C-alpha cells in the first residue's frame, strides 16, 4: 500500500515534472519562434510600409500613404487586433496572403503588397513571422480606403492583373550555387523584395524580370531607384562585397556619402538589424548579377 501509494505519488510527481519541463520547452520554443519571426519581419522590411509617417505612429498599425502611378494605397493594420487587424487570421489565411495575394475573404490584393516577391518565402519562415506579429499588442485602428483611379479601384482589376503577371511559387535553391549565394538570392528576391523598387516596371506595373534589379527611373514616390546589378558603369560593379555589407549596415556609400530617401528607411528598419552573415549573403548574390545585354 505504502509502496503503491508512494509509487503513484512518485509517478504523479514525475508526470508533473515532465509536464513542467514540456511546458517550459514549449515556451522556449515559442519564444524562439517569435524571435526568429521578429528577425524575419525585419528582413522582410514590413515596418517600412506598415507604420504611418507621423511621429509616434504605432508600428505595424498601418496607415502609411504609398503613392504609385495608379493612385494612393494605404497600408493596413497588421497588429493582432481581431476586428481592425489580422487577429482573426488562421495560419492558412496568412500563408495564402503571401503566397497567392488573396485575403481571407478571397479578395485579390493589389500588388502594392509585394506578394509578387513574398510568394517565394518558405512556410516555416512565414509562420514564424506570424507568431511574431501575433505576439504584439493588438492596436485598434481601422484601415483607410485606397484612393485609386476609377479603372483600378476594383479588386477585380487586381485579379485580372494577377492572372497575367503573377507567378506563385516557393524559392528553389540552385544546387550549382553556394549556400550563401542561395541565402542571398532568397533574401534579395523574396523576403527583402528588393526588386519591387529596383526592377523596372512595365506600364501596367508588372516587374520586368529579365531586367531584374537594373534600376527603376520611376520608382516609389517618383524617385529614381538605382541599378544594383554588378554593372560597373550604372550598377554597383565597382563596389566590393565589403562595401555592400557596410552600406547595408550603416548607410554609407563607398565614397563616404550617405543616401537619404526610401533606402535610408530600409537600412534603419531592416538591413542594419541583419546578421553579418546575411548581409554578406546579400552582397555575394548581388555581385553575381551580370546586367542584361
Interface with another protein by CB under 8 A: which residues? 223-224, 226, 246, 250-261, 264
Burial category of 16 from C-beta neighbours within 10 Å (exposed 0-12, middle 13-18, buried 19 and up) = exposed
Per-residue b or e along 103-120, where b marks 16 or more CB atoms closer than 10 Å to that residue's CB: beeeebbbbbbbbbbbbb
Rounded Cα gap, residues 135 and 277, in angstroms: 27
Nearest-10 crossing angle of helices 241-250, 276-287:
130
Question: Which residue's CB is nearer to another protein, number 85 or number 270?
Answer: 270
Report CA-CA distances (Å) from 99 to 33, 122, 171, 188, 198.
20, 9, 11, 17, 21
Question: Which residue's CB is nearer to another protein, number 58 or number 253?
Answer: 253
For the CB of residue 261, give the shortest distance to another protein in the complex, in Å: 4
Residue whose C-alpha is closest to residue 207's, from 126, 83, 112: 112
For the CB of residue 220, give the shortest distance to another protein in the complex, in Å: 11
Give me the residues paired with residue 108 across strands.
Answer: 102
Question: Which residue's CB is nearer to another protein, number 11 or number 224?
Answer: 224
For the CB of residue 45, give the shortest distance to another protein in the complex, in Å: 17
Phi/psi for 216 (5° steps) reads -135, 110
Question: Which residue's CB is nearer to another protein, number 13 or number 264?
Answer: 264
Question: Which residue's CB is nearer to another protein, number 263 or number 289?
Answer: 263
* Cβ-based neighbours of 242, under 8 Å, separated by 6 or more: 283
Decide: 40 and 191 in contact? Cβ < 8 Å: yes
For the CB of residue 31, give the shortest distance to another protein in the complex, in Å: 28
Please provide the DSSP assignment of 189-245 as one string: IIIS-THHHHS-B-TTS-B-GGGTTS-BTT-GGG--B---SS-TTTSSTTS-HHHHH
Question: Which residue's CB is nearer to another protein, number 206 or number 252?
Answer: 252
For the CB of residue 292, give the shortest distance to another protein in the complex, in Å: 21
For the CB of residue 279, give the shortest distance to another protein in the complex, in Å: 13
Question: Which residue's CB is nearer to another protein, number 251 or number 270?
Answer: 251
Question: Which residue's CB is nearer to another protein, number 30 or number 261?
Answer: 261
For the CB of residue 254, give the shortest distance to another protein in the complex, in Å: 8
For the CB of residue 56, give the shortest distance to another protein in the complex, in Å: 17
* Cβ-based neighbours of 238, under 8 Å, separated by 6 or more: 232, 254
Amino acid at each position: 500500500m505504502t509502496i503503491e501509494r508512494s509509487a503513484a505519488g512518485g509517478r504523479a510527481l514525475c508526470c508533473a515534472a515532465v509536464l513542467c519541463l514540456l511546458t517550459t520547452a514549449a515556451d522556449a520554443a515559442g519564444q524562439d519562434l517569435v524571435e526568429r519571426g521578429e528577425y524575419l519581419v525585419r528582413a522582410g522590411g514590413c515596418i517600412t510600409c506598415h507604420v504611418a509617417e507621423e511621429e509616434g505612429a504605432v508600428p505595424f498599425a498601418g496607415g502609411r500613404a504609398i503613392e504609385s502611378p495608379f493612385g494612393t494605397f494605404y497600408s493596413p493594420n497588421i497588429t493582432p487586433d481581431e476586428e481592425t487587424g489580422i487577429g482573426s487570421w488562421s495560419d492558412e489565411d496568412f500563408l495564402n496572403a503571401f503566397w497567392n495575394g488573396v485575403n481571407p475573404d478571397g479578395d485579390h490584393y493589389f500588388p502594392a503588397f509585394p506578394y509578387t516577391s513574398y510568394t517565394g518565402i518558405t512556410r516555416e519562415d512565414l509562420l514564424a513571422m506570424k507568431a511574431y506579429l501575433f505576439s504584439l499588442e493588438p492596436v485598434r485602428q481601422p484601415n483607410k480606403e485606397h484612393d485609386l483611379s476609377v479603372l483600378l479601384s476594383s479588386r477585380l482589376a487586381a485579379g485580372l492583373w494577377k492572372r497575367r503577371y503573377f507567378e506563385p511559387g516557393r524559392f528553389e535553391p540552385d544546387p550549382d550555387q553556394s549556400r550563401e549565394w542561395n541565402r542571398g538570392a532568397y533574401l534579395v528576391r523574396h523576403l527583402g523584395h528588393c526588386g519591387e523598387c529596383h526592377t523596372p516596371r512595365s506600364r501596367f506595373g508588372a516587374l520586368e524580370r529579365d531586367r531584374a534589379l537594373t534600376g527603376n527611373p520611376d520608382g516609389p514616390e517618383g524617385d529614381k531607384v538605382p541599378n544594383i546589378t554588378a554593372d560597373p558603369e550604372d550598377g554597383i560593379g565597382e563596389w566590393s562585397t565589403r562595401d555592400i555589407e557596410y552600406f547595408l549596415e550603416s548607410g554609407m556609400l563607398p565614397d563616404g556619402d550617405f543616401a537619404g530617401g526610401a533606402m535610408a528607411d530600409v537600412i534603419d528598419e531592416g538591413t542594419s538589424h541583419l546578421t553579418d552573415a546575411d548581409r554578406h549573403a546579400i552582397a555575394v548574390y548581388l555581385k553575381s548579377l551580370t546586367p542584361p545585354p
